[in-house]
Amino acid sequence: MPLSKHLILTGFMGTGKTTVGKLLAEKLNCPLVDTDAEVEKSVKQSISSLFAEKGEAVFRDWESRVLKEVLSGPPRVVTTGGGIVLRQENRRMMRSLGWVVCLTADRDELLHRLKGDESRPLLQGNARQKVEQLLEERRGYYRDSDWVIDTTGKTPEEVADEVISAI
Ligand code: S3P
């Protein structure tokens, strides 16, 4: 099915955006682009070393720049980093140029999926406390989507099929 606009997956870390995005790209026979991977390509370093060397604000600037570039191209399945919703300009751009599907999961399931994760700079230290705080700060932003899909207890395949029937 050719997409008439971008299919954008948002949602907190650990909600399965990357896995579900890959399945969607296969099922829809559509190219896939991931904003975190694009940032890493642009800066030629990993997200965690970018955070460590330059800080979160510099990462957010790259993230917004990459999003703008991606959304100005042909329709694709776009997977995003969990904090892409923090900037209003990003939320507006996503809503106007794509279908925005936000994946969610129960807090306990998220904590379980993210346990021991060392690749995500925002979760280093007391992960439980950080997840709770970030979820609280972002809740309203994640709701600003065309669809919100709960992934709790579902396989990525089931979630991908749910996304396809939604759009
Ligand atoms: C972040 C989520 C990460 C990555 C960065 C910041 C966030 O992406 O962009 O570590 O602020 O929630 P994932 O959601 O793919 O883990």
Q: What is the pLDDT of residues 12-51, one digit of tens each?
A: 999 999 999 999 999 999 999 999 999 999 999 999 999 9
> pTM above 0.90?
yes
Q: What is the pLDDT of residues 94-149, one digit of tens each?
A: 999 999 999 999 999 999 999 888 889 999 888 889 999 999 999 999 999 999 99
Q: Tell whether 76 is in a known binding site.
A: no
Cβ 131 under 6 angstroms from ligand 1: no
Please report where in the chains the tokens 């604000």 appear, as a residue: 57
CATH superfamily of 6-166: P-loop containing nucleotide triphosphate hydrolases (3.40.50.300)
Q: Which residues of 66-86 are buried (b: 16+ CB within 10 A; e: fewer)?
A: bbeebbeeebbbbbbbbbbbb
Q: Tell whether 54 is in a known binding site.
A: no
Atom of ligand 1 nearest to the CA of 15: 14
Q: Tell whether 80 is in a known binding site.
A: no
Cβ 82 under 6 angstroms from ligand 1: yes
How far does Cα 21 stand from its chain's mean position? 9
